[in-house]
Amino acid sequence: MAEALRHTEKGDTPVEPALLVRYRAAIAERLRTTALPASSFAGRMSAYHMGWVDRDGRPTSSQSGKFIRPSLCIWACEACGGTADDALPAATALEWMHNFTLIHDDIQDGDRERRARETVWSVWGAAQAINAGDALHALVFQTLAQSESPHPKRQLRAVRAIADAALEVIQGQCLDLNLEGRADTRPRSYLRMIQAKTGALFGASLQVGAIVAGASDVVVDRFRLAGRRLGTAFQMRDDWLGVWGDPAATGKSTSGDVNRAKTTYPVVAGYAAMTVFQRRRLRELFLSKVKKPAAKIRELLEDAGGPELTRSAPGRTAEKAAALVARCGLDKKYDAEFLEVARYVADRSR
């Protein structure tokens, strides 16, 4: 398995785990059936964001995302004795929540591209994109409320878990913006930020799947912690791709984070490995009032160790997530499936 998922110097895409393929069609279908009406402007913008239509409303075949979070939710439910049908409403709600955060994140970061196409705000402006994101946030809870569950107490716990995660994601976004321009950010401050903005929703995905299946509190809590670690690994890898990834694969520029002087993992780890002179120079570049000289910042990061300095950390963090799942007493096939996803998340090229 490890050989199949190992990252190569050529940037080959690791084999996509069967778990992520298995639920894709069901998730995509449920998203379509719970989507906002196409006749509404918010519905048109959200359909564009999802890759279903172009800016003029014509159907397209663009990517809708990887569906990692809803897939993990369904997997967690099945691993704990439930069924995919039991978890599908909550999994769909989690994917809507994720896309709400993406639309708003693009506005906050000024990103003009996502999934190799223009972002919602860059097409219709920030104000309308805020409306689109808000609409998806409301859709999360509409999706949950419309599903009939034979276990209303479990459903209520799932709603609370998703709401709690949403609040934590927003707090993580606040921290992310506050840390911009701070080249000297401490590693623990960076970790606190990404555990909130990315780890929280990954954690909720596993947590909610276990809740819906009626798992014990011990398993529910371990799944939540495992998801948080997996989300941390995901964001570390995302940060790496944001500096050294292939834009053709990621669908995003490798200059966006650098130009905005974002506090990413390559910056935090690079700064820790730099000489006193290099640190001072990096701080100066980050605080520059003019457009950030991306080439000079990248050169400093590469002098401090570059891609190799930060390549392995996501894998180590993902392995810790898998170790937590392995302590839950699941059938070994589920342990193996989660380990495969964990390694994929930490080694992906898009």
- Cβ-based burial of 170 (10 A; exposed 0-12, middle 13-18, buried ≥19): middle
Q: How confident is the model at residue 61 (pLDDT cuts 50, 70, 90)?
A: confident
Q: Is residue 69 within a helix (H) or strand (E), and if so which, with residue range?
A: helix 68-79
How many structural domains are present in the chain? Answer: 1
Quote the CA–CA distance of 345 and 350 in Å, as a whole number. 10
pLDDT confidence tier of residue 178, bands split at 50, 70 and 90: very high
Looking at residue 8, what is its pLDDT?
Answer: 38
3-state SS, residue 147: coil
Any idea what DSSP says for residue 292? Answer: -
pLDDT at position 292: 62
Mean pLDDT on 193-220: 98
Residue 3's pLDDT band, with cuts at 50, 70 and 90, is: very low
CATH code of residue 307: 1.10.600.10
Q: Which residues contact residue 332 at a Cβ distance below 8 angstroms, ignoring those fewer than 6 apart?
A: none
Residue 11 has pLDDT above 70, yes or no: no
Instruction: Tell me the pLDDT tens digit for each residue of 113-145.
Output: 998 899 999 999 999 999 999 999 999 999 999
Q: Which domain holds residue 288?
A: 2-347
Q: Strands (DSSP E) along the chain, which ranges?
A: 113-114, 117-118
Task: Give the model confidence (pLDDT) of 245-301 as tens digits.
Answer: 888 877 777 777 888 889 999 999 999 999 999 999 999 999 886 666 788 899 999
pLDDT in tens, 20-32: 999 999 999 999 9
- Cα(51)–Cα(39) distance, integer angstroms: 17
Q: What is the mean pLDDT of residues 299-325?
A: 95
Q: What is the pLDDT of residue 4?
A: 34
- By CB neighbour count within 10 A (0-12 exposed, 13-18 middle, 19+ buried), where does 318 fall? buried
Considering the chain, what is the average pLDDT of its residues?
92
Residue in 228, 230, 237 with CA at minimum distance from that of residue 313: 237
Residue 95 corresponds to which tokens in the numbers above?
């994917």
CB 165 within 8 Å of CB 204: yes
Look at residue 171 and give its three-state secondary structure. Answer: helix
